[in-house]
C-alpha cells in the first residue's frame, strides 16, 4: 500500500513526552503500512536512536536531525523528506487519539485542497496552568472566525496535502521563536485563497505540564511571536492585523467562567491566569518592539 500520511513531529529534549506520542501513534486505527512517522530532532542534547529503535516493527519511523533552528525549520525539513500524499503535523508533547489519522483522512478526501484542523484537548486536567493554556486556544478558535470559517489552527494538529504545503511555501523559517509561525502559515494560506476546515473529531491530547513560571514564559514568548507576525505581515505588503476590540478581551476574561469543563479546576483561577497571560503577552510584544529599536546584547 502506498503511503497516505507522513506524520511530522519536531522535538527538542523531551524524550519521555516523545515516547508517549509515539506510543499513541502505535494505537492508530489506520493501516500501519499507510503512514510513516518522521521525527525531527531540533538540536537536542539526547540521542534518540535507541528510542526510535524500540519502535521497530510497530511504526514506519524515521529520524532526522538538524542544528537548533526551531520548529518551523524542523517541520519544513520533515515535509521535504516525506513520502506521504498528506502531511499531518503534531508535537512531541501530544498524544493523537486512535482515530486521529482516520478522521483527518476522511476530511482530506472530502476537502482535498483544504487545510484541516483538528481539536486539541488538555490531557492534564488537574494542572490549572495547562488547563488555562488550552482554554485560551479554545477561545481563539471560537473568536478567530470569518463568515463562519476559522482563521487559525495550531500546528500541533493540522493536516494538508504535501503538494499544497509545498505550493504554500511551508512555514516561514525566519521566525526566531516557537511562536506564531503557525498563525503566519494560516494567514498566508487564507490570503492565497486556501480553505480552512475544522474537524473536531480528529482529536489530539496535549500533555504539556506547566507551572506558573512556565505559563508566564510561554505567553511572554507568544507575545514576542505576535510582534514578529505583525512585522512579517507588513513586510509582505499587507496591512498589519488590527488590534482586537475591548470586547474581545472582556469575553476572553469571562470565557473560563462560562465554559469551565475541567474537573477539579476552579474557573476563577483559570480566569486569573488568563489575566496573567495577557500581561505576559503584552510584555513580550513590547520587548520585541523595543529590541528592534535598541538591539539587546546577547542571544534572544
**How many CA atoms does the CB half-sphere of 200 hold within 13 Å?**
5
Q: What does pLDDT average to over the chain?
A: 90
Average pLDDT score over residue span 208-222: 95
pLDDT score recorded for residue 1: 54
> pTM, whole model, 2 decimals?
0.91
3-class DSSP assignment, residue 97: coil
- How does residue 269 score in pLDDT terms, banded at 50, 70 and 90? confident
3-class DSSP assignment, residue 110: helix
Residue 94 parent element (H or E) = strand 94-96
- How does residue 7 score in pLDDT terms, banded at 50, 70 and 90? very high
- How does residue 199 score in pLDDT terms, banded at 50, 70 and 90? very high
Which cell numbers hold the place of 258?
A: 462560562
The predicted-structure confidence for 106-144, as pLDDT tens digits, reads as follows: 999 999 899 999 999 999 988 999 999 999 999 988 888
pLDDT score recorded for residue 149: 75
Domain ranges of the chain: 5-293
Whole-angstrom distance, CA of residue 253 vs CA of residue 169: 36
Q: Is the pLDDT of residue 297 over 70?
A: no
The predicted-structure confidence for 222-255, as pLDDT tens digits, reads as follows: 999 999 899 889 888 888 877 888 888 888 888 8
pLDDT score recorded for residue 263: 43
Asked if 243 and 278 count as a contact pair (C-beta separation under 8 A), the reply is: no
* Nearest alpha-carbon partner for 71 in 37, 36, 40: 40
| Dihedral angle sign, alpha carbons of residues 231, 160, 89, 9 | negative
Q: What is the dihedral of CA 7, 10, 12, 16, to 10 degrees?
A: -20
Q: Is the pLDDT of residue 3 over 70?
A: yes
Asked if 29 and 85 count as a contact pair (C-beta separation under 8 A), the reply is: no
- How does residue 261 score in pLDDT terms, banded at 50, 70 and 90? low
- How does residue 267 score in pLDDT terms, banded at 50, 70 and 90? confident
Q: Is the pLDDT of residue 62 over 70?
A: yes
Q: Is the pLDDT of residue 70 over 60?
A: yes
The predicted-structure confidence for 20-40, as pLDDT tens digits, reads as follows: 999 999 999 999 999 999 999
Average pLDDT score over residue span 82-89: 97
Whole-angstrom distance, CA of residue 212 vs CA of residue 205: 21
Q: What single DSSP character describes residue 197?
A: E
**Higher local confidence (pLDDT), 296 or 248:** 248
- Cβ neighbors of 287 (< 8 A, separation 6 or more) are 220, 223, 224
H-type alpha helices, 146-296: 162-167, 181-191, 212-235, 246-259, 267-293
Asked if 40 and 11 count as a contact pair (C-beta separation under 8 A), the reply is: yes
pLDDT score recorded for residue 240: 81
- How does residue 294 score in pLDDT terms, banded at 50, 70 and 90? low
Q: For the domain bounded by 5-293, which CATH number is listed?
A: 3.90.550.10
Whole-angstrom distance, CA of residue 87 vs CA of residue 110: 16
Report phi then psi at 29, rounded to 5. -90, 65
Q: Is the pLDDT of residue 299 over 50?
A: no
pLDDT score recorded for residue 241: 79
Whole-angstrom distance, CA of residue 229 vs CA of residue 144: 15
pLDDT score recorded for residue 295: 53
Q: What distances in angstroms separate CA 149 from CA 40, 79, 115, 197, one per listed residue?
A: 31, 26, 12, 7
Amino acid at each position: 500500500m502506498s503511503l497516505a500520511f507522513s506524520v511530522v513531529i519536531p522535538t527538542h529534549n523531551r524524550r519521555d513526552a516523545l515516547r508517549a506520542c509515539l506510543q499513541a501513534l502505535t494505537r492508530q486505527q489506520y493501516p500501519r503500512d499507510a503512514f510513516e512517522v518522521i521525527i525531527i530532532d531540533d538540536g537536542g542534547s539526547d540521542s534518540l536512536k535507541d528510542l526510535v529503535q524500540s519502535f521497530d516493527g510497530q511504526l514506519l519511523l524515521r529520524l532526522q536531525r538538524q542544528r537548533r533552528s526551531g520548529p518551523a525549520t524542523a517541520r519544513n525539513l520533515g515535509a521535504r523528506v516525506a513520502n506521504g500524499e498528506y502531511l499531518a503535523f503534531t508535537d512531541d508533547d501530544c498524544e493523537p487519539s486512535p482515530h486521529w489519522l482516520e478522521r483527518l483522512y476522511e476530511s482530506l478526501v472530502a476537502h482535498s485542497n483544504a487545510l484541516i484542523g483538528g481539536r486539541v484537548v488538555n490531557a492534564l486536567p488537574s494542572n490549572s496552568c495547562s488547563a488555562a493554556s488550552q482554554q485560551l486556544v479554545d477561545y481563539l478558535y471560537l473568536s478567530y472566525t470569518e463568515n463562519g470559517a476559522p482563521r487559525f489552527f495550531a500546528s500541533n494538529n493540522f493536516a494538508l496535502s504535501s503538494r499544497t504545503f509545498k505550493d504554500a511555501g511551508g512555514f516561514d523559517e525566519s521566525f526566531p521563536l516557537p511562536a506564531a509561525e503557525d498563525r503566519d502559515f494560516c494567514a498566508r494560506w487564507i490570503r492565497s485563497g486556501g480553505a480552512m476546515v475544522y474537524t473536531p473529531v480528529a482529536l489530539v491530547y496535549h500533555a504539556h505540564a506547566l507551572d506558573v513560571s512556565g505559563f508566564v514564559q510561554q505567553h511572554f514568548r507568544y507575545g514576542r511571536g505576535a510582534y514578529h507576525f505583525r512585522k512579517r505581515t507588513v513586510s509582505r505588503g499587507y496591512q498589519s492585523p488590527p488590534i482586537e476590540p475591548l470586547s474581545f478581551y472582556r469575553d476572553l476574561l469571562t470565557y473560563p467562567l462560562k465554559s469551565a469543563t475541567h474537573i477539579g479546576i476552579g474557573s476563577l483561577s483559570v480566569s486569573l491566569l488568563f489575566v496573567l497571560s495577557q500581561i505576559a503577552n503584552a510584555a513580550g510584544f513590547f520587548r520585541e518592539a523595543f529590541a528592534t529599536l535598541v538591539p539587546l546584547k546577547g542571544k534572544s
